[in-house]
Amino acid sequence: MTEIDSVGIIGAGQMGNGIAHVAALAGLAVVMIDVQAEALSRALTTMSKNMDRQVQKGSISAADREAALGRVTTATDNAALSGCDIVIEAATEREEIKLAILRGLVPHLKPDAIIASNTSSIPITRLAAVTDRPEKVIGMHFMNPVPVMKLVEVIRGIATDDATFEATQALATRLGKTTAVAEDYPAFIVNRILVPMINEAVYTLAEGVGSVTAIDTAMKLGTNQPMGPLELADFIGLDTCLAIMRVLHEGMGDSKYRPCPLLVKYVEAGWLGRKTKRGFYDYTQDPPRPTR
């Protein structure tokens, strides 16, 4: 395969609809799959609203918006992916779910189709091993929110061939992204550095070194970060942060990656951050109020 013209996306959540958004604007035919028809409907509404904002800002034209939305089709059956040049898995960050998706996907793909995973931490080699084409499996980790963030981490598994890598790099460029190539180690580059920092911020909170407000203020003003680590954790999702720390702890076998018990407690409580309206901040109030 020399060029990718059609993209399948599995998962219509925040990451999936963001990837569909940039792919459609880049002129690619997009097929978005989800087991829930309601999720697909919400994703299309989100894309439309986000493109409306781009039109208002002058970054795209109204004609660009209409053309892009017209390139997106949706389905609840993997059979709709049969014509895609690449399929990007963008499901929740749980290995058993991703493995099941990949096993069910393979029978529906054309022989030369590439499989990419948007995983933020799970080894690509392990995901590739359940497919019939490990040489055509690659990591393509987009940052959230996808239409805004410029980076894509590209991760080769042990079997990923040069043609797959080059086609993926070319696709990322077409989507207007800059790539950082990472080796296939747990959490890759961004999250191996970022999420342990968040985990340490939670330890700092749990040990009473500082309050939620003090920790976030210190890191924003002391290191010039746009969000403090606890605010960022809520934005990412505390369940996702915990899943990444568990992958790191298991994969590296080092106690420095042990998830903070307070992070575990918040996830067990269902306090997952912005998406549940409560995490380290209570988002039912304006402005959000710290919960500790």
Residues labelled as active-site residues: 120, 141, 153, 191
Q: How far apart are CA 212 and CA 287, in angstroms?
A: 14
CA angle, 125 then 190 then 141, to 5°: 50
Task: Using alpha carbons, select from 257, 206, 258 the residue that is nearest to residue 230.
Answer: 206
CA-nearest of 180, 184, 187, 171 to 129 is 184
* Helical H segments across 152-224, by residue range: 162-174, 190-206, 212-223
Q: How far is CA 214 from CA 219, 233, 268, 286, in A?
A: 9, 15, 25, 19
Asked whether the beta carbons of 51 and 68 are under 8 A apart, the reply is yes
Q: Which of 88, 117, 101, 114 is nearest to 35 (CA)?
A: 101
Distance CA 172, CA 176 (A): 7
